[in-house]
A = this chain, B = another copy of it.
Amino acid sequence: MMLVRMNMKTVLGALCVAVLLFTLFWGHCGDFSRRPLGSVLSEHGHGADDIECIINGEYSVSCRRDRERDDVYVPFSLVHKYFEIYGKITTTDGVEKFEWSHSYGKIYHPKKKYDPRGTFTTFENYNVEVRDRVKCISGIEGVPISTQWDPKGFFYPTQIAQFGLAHYSKFLTEAEPRRRIIDDGEKHIENWIVSKDAFMVREYDSESQTNILRFSTSDHVSSQVWLKVNISQDFVLSADVMMKPNSSMTVVLQNKEKKETVYLHYVASTQLIYAQDDHIYYGIGVEQKWRKITRDLIIDMQKGWILQDRPKRRSPRNKFKISSVILSGTGGLDNVTVSSSEHMAQFYAAASWLVRAQRGRGGWPVPARRRVAAGVADLAPGWYSAMSQGHAISVLARAYSRSGDVTYLQAARRALYVLDVPSHAGGVKALWMDKFVWYEEYPTKPPLFVLNGFIYTLLGLYDLHVIEGENSMSLAKKMFDDGMTSLKTLLPLFDTGSGSFYDLRHFTLGVSPNIARWDYHATHVNQLYLLAGLDDDPILLNTAKRWEGYMQGKRAAHN
C-alpha cells in the first residue's frame, strides 16, 4: 500500500525535526566530506564533554559531544561491532591516518574475454595448498588431501580441481620459473658423499633410457648417501625416483637465522603423512617403477608442523635453505631439480587424478559426510557436487587443449552425465519451481541453490563447449544455455540490497537468510563480471556493478 506515508511522516517528522535540529545545531550533518580537515582546531586537544549514547534504547556507550565542532563523536569500536566495519591506523610518511573499510575482498575487472584455455577466473591469486583445511599434498598422488568435513582427510574433487586450476593459472601469469638441476644422472658430480657400507653408481637405465643414479645403503643408521647443497629462495623439488619399500630420499632444510633443522623424508611407503619433532614423513608409494615426484618443500614442512599443532609461521621461504639431500635404502634417482615453481606438473597431477578417480557415471564422489544446514538431511559419503563436476571439466578441458590427449576430453564429456541427474536420484540437478535448472554444489533435499558453485559449474560447461569447438551444438552448450537462463532469471533473488545471499535456503527451508560474507560476495561479483563478457544481457553487468558498489557501502534505494 502507499497510504501510510502520512502516518510515517508523522513519526518521521518527529525524527526529522530532531535530525534537523541536530543538523542546524551542530552544523555539518551531511556536509562532512567537504569540510577542510583540521581546520577548526589544529592544536592538540579539544574541549569535549562525555555524553551517554543510548543505542536503540538497549545499551549505553560513552560518546563525546564537541560543542566547538557541533557534533557528537561515537567510538569506532561501536561502529565496528554494530556494523562490522573494519578500521585500522596506517602510517604514511610519518602521518597516521585511520582507514575505514566497508568490506574486504578484491574485485578483478576482466581485461579480456574469458578464455577456456586461459586462466580460470581469478585463480592465479589462489593458493589452495596453504589452506588450513588442506592436510597435506599426497606423496603418491601429488594432490591435496582435505580435512574440511572429515579430520581423517579425504580426496575432495573440488579442492583437487581448484589446486590444478590455481597452478594452471599461475603458470600462465607468472614469469618463467628458475630451475637448477641438482643431478640429472649424466654428469659425474663429486659432491655425493657415500658412507663406507653404502654405494652409489651412475649407470644407464634401460627402462628410462637415460643415465641415472643408483644407490644402496645398509641397515646401519650411519649408512647413507648424501649430497650437501646450499639453496635458498627456491623450494620446489622434483625428481624421478624408483625405490624399494621403506627406502627414502630426505631433504634437509635449515633455518638460516637460528639453529633449526627440518628433515623431510620421502619414503617408499603408503603412509600419507607422519611427523615427529623435526622429522616429517611423506609416503610416495611402493610401486616398483619410475615416477616423478614434485614437492613444495615449504608446504610439506608447514603441513608437518600443523600436524604437531605447532603454530603457523610467517614467510618461512625467506628463513630456510635446502642444505642437503640424503638417500637411504635401495633405489634409483634422476633429474633432481629445484625450481621456483612447477605449476604444470602440479596441474597435471590434478588432471591425472581426476581421470583415474572418475566413476562409471562420470562423477567424482565426495567420500565425506557433509552437514550443510540445519533442517536438511546430511549428504551421505559418496555424494556428488555440481561444482566438483564443473571444476573437473575446467581442469580436463585445459589438460586436453594443452596436451591434445583425448583421454582428458573423454573424461570431461563423461562428467556431464551426473549434472543431468536430479538430486533425488543421486545426481546434482535441482529445478527452481519445476522450471529452472540449477546445478547444485550441495545436492540437498530440498535444494539450497548455492550461487557461486552454480556459476563455477556453468564455467565448466562453457569450457567444454568451447574446447569442443565453439560452433558445435554440444550437450555442454545446451546445459550451459539452460543454466544461464536460470541464472539470469534468479540472480535478483540473491540481491539483499546491500550485499548478496550465499544461497536461497531462506526460500527453500523458510529460515533466516544466509548472507554471503564479503569474500563470497566478491566471488559473486568477479563471476558476474566474467559472465558479462560472455553474455550481453544487461542484468549481468548491472548486477555486478551494483554489487561491487555494495562493497563500498552503497545500498539499494528504499521507497
State whether A88 touches B158 (Cβ < 8 A).
no
In the complex, per-residue mask of A109-123: 1 if CB is within 8 Å of any chain B CB, else 0: 000000000000000
Set of chain B residues within 8 Å of A22, measured between Cβ atoms: 80, 87-89
State whether B37 touches A62 (Cβ < 8 A).
yes
State whether A517 touches B559 (Cβ < 8 A).
yes
Say whether, besides A77-B28, A456-B1, A497-B496, A8 and B519 are in contact (CB < 8 Å). yes
Say whether, besides A63-B98, A87-B22, A502-B559, A162 and B56 are in contact (CB < 8 Å). no
Stretch at the interface among A184-192, A300-308, A469-477, A505-513: A505-513
Copies held by the complex: 2
- How long is the Cα–Cα vector from A100 to B60 in the complex, in angstroms? 10
> By CB atoms of chain B within 10 A, which of A3, A7, A98, A520 has the most?
A3
Set of chain B residues within 8 Å of A134, measured between Cβ atoms: 6
> Does A127 interact with chain B (Cβ within 8 Å)?
yes
Count of A residues near B, CB < 8 Å?
A: 137
State whether B19 touches A86 (Cβ < 8 A).
yes
Nearest B residue to A501, CB-CB: B497
Set of chain B residues within 8 Å of A65, measured between Cβ atoms: 96, 98
Set of chain B residues within 8 Å of A51, measured between Cβ atoms: 89, 96-98
Stretch at the interface among A40-48, A170-178, A408-416: A40-48
- How long is the Cα–Cα vector from A3 to B121 in the complex, in angstroms? 14
The SS class assigned to the A binding surface is: mixed
Set of chain B residues within 8 Å of A74, measured between Cβ atoms: 73-76, 79, 100
Set of chain B residues within 8 Å of A518, measured between Cβ atoms: 8
CB of A299, distance to nearest CB on chain B (Å): 13
CB of A116, distance to nearest CB on chain B (Å): 19
Nearest B residue to A149, CB-CB: B2
> Does A495 interact with chain B (Cβ within 8 Å)?
yes
> Does A130 interact with chain B (Cβ within 8 Å)?
yes
CB of A61, distance to nearest CB on chain B (Å): 5
**A positions within 8 Å CB-CB of B:** 1-12, 15, 18-19, 21-23, 26, 28-33, 35, 37-38, 40-42, 44-66, 69, 71-83, 86-89, 96-102, 104-106, 125-128, 130-134, 148, 158-159, 162, 387, 433, 435, 441, 450, 452-453, 456, 488, 492-493, 495-499, 501-502, 506-507, 510-520, 523, 539, 542, 546, 552-553, 555-559
